Structure 1
Amino acid sequence: MDIRVVCNKCRKEAPIDKEKSNLNWKVYDESKSCKCGGEWKMILPP
């Protein structure tokens, strides 16, 4: 399943937290807001 975390305004992908991620899991750094002022939103495939 391809889950993405993107900005709700500009659709830029959230930065990946390299310390917490590994080969099996991508962990996104959602603590910072997007530069455009939007918030991070999880997108699930249809």
Structure 2
Amino acid sequence: MANIKSQIKRIHVTARQTERNKAVRSLLKTRIIKFMPLLCYDYSG
């Protein structure tokens, strides 16, 4: 474990950013999966 105050802060900030990135990445994957069938849909009738 880090002893330096700035490094301890950096560890906490990085953990928060990682969690946020996971949520955003998951949402992005979900949106892409739901959007892909729309690209393949035949609108010509």
TM-score by length of 2: 0.19
Structure with a larger share of its residues in helix? 2
The structure number with the bigger radius of gyration is 2
Between 1 and 2, higher relative CO (CA 8 Å, sep ≥ 6) is seen in 1
TM-score by length of 1: 0.19
Structure with a larger share of its residues in strand? 1
